[in-house]
Amino acid sequence: MVTQSVTGIESGAVAPSRLAARGVTVGYGTRTVIDELDAAIPPGVITTIIGPNGCGKSTLLRTLSRLLKPTKGAVVLDGEDIGRLRTRDVAKKLGLLPQAPVAPEGLTVGDLVARGRHPHQSWLRQWSSDDAAVVERALAMTGVSDLADRPVDTLSGGQRQRVWISMTLAQGTDLLLLDEPTTYLDLAHAIDVLDLVNDLHESGCTVVMVLHDLNLATRYSDNLIVMRDGSILAQGHPRDVVTADLLHEAFGLRAKVIDDPVGDRPLIVPIGRTHVQLP
Ligand SMILES: Nc1ncnc2c1ncn2[C@@H]1O[C@H](COP(=O)(O)OP(=O)(O)OP(=O)(O)O)[C@@H](O)[C@H]1O
Ligand SMILES: [Mg+2]
């Protein structure tokens, strides 16, 4: 018997999900944030979106997950226009960790994570021991099992963040969109979460995440999407993409790019904003 992992992927299976933005224009009200953008998410790879505050990273992620509807173009999931799919069908294929999720007051950690199983339930298929096992495993994977009975709104920022990641994992999808999964986490917990993301990737998951820590982004992804002002400046393997010129163009940041002594990736050493006079 093949054991079902928490991500719903059986070992050795090839991740079937494919996701792409095709000529997508999207914004809020009359304000366009992203204009005619094309982006393809390679299967089975960790893609990390980086870029300055307000450049449209979350807007892109929310559009890719169907939370935002483009005014032009389309998002294609497994060859189908995501806008034509039912919410439940999208949720069975794609899990989204939003940037600043808020839990209903008083809801316990266990109940919140159990909500990740909702897309799998119907009046025909009620809550089962399999669902309970997936939830238990998802809690354990992010180290929050001990918090299961606590109301989410009584937790620290970092504990809460891990609980939300746990809920996203309980959804059991092989495509994960994580908007700043390491926010509020101390470095050791951030590395824990990114190692977990890497384990999921190794079990066949496709991951798209947004990170602000550029060195963690280069360390943990094989594909970087660098954004500025709603556009993609560069996309590719960190080794091919990360240069001092690009960092300056994207962030207005002066930095040296050296070899990471741990691993074979570039390491970014910030110097300062362009306007700062250095001795
Ligand atoms: N709900 C909203 N209503 C109106 N404008 C919004 C909304 N959400 C975001 N924006 C605007 O859209 C632009 C892109 O925002 P977005 O959240 O995508 O940026 P981001 O790259 O994720 O930034 P950050 O790094 O700060 O999370 C910003 O100018 C922002 O003010
Ligand atoms: Mg954001």
Ranges of each domain in the chain: 16-93+174-273, 94-172
The highest-level CATH class for domain 16-93+174-273 is alpha beta
Nearest CA to 256 out of 241, 247, 238 is that of 247
Classify residue 189 as exposed, middle or buried by CB count within 10 Å of its CB (0-12, 13-18, 19+): middle
181-207 pLDDT, tens digit per residue, is 999 899 999 998 999 899 999 988 999
Check residues 13 and 271 and name the one with the higher pLDDT: 271
Give, using CA atoms, the residue closest to atom 31 of ligand 1.
54
Give, using CA atoms, the residue closest to atom 19 of ligand 1.
54
Weakest-pLDDT range from 7-21, 64-78, 83-97, 126-140 = 7-21
Give the Cβ contact number of residue 134 at 10 Å. Answer: 25
98-144 pLDDT, tens digit per residue, is 998 989 999 999 999 999 888 877 766 777 788 899 999 999 999 99
- How far is the C-alpha of 247 from the C-alpha of 254, rounded, in Å? 7
E strand or H helix at 231, and its extent? strand 231-236
Six-digit token string for 182: 């390491």
Residue to probe by mutation, ligand 1, list 32, 37, 49, 57, most atoms within 8 Å of CB: 57
Check residues 160 and 12 and name the one with the higher pLDDT: 160
Note if the pTM is more than 0.85: yes
Distances from the Cα of 189 to the Cαs of 102, 213, 244, 268, in angstroms?
21, 14, 29, 21
**How far away, in angstroms, is 106 Cα from ligand 2 center?**
26
Ligand 1 atom nearest the C-alpha of 59 is 18
213-249 pLDDT, tens digit per residue, is 999 999 999 999 999 999 999 999 999 999 999 999 9
User: Residue 275 above 90 pLDDT?
Assistant: no
- What's the confidence (pLDDT) of residue 120? 79
User: Residue 6 above 70 pLDDT?
Assistant: no
Which ligand has the shortest distance to the CA of 51? 1
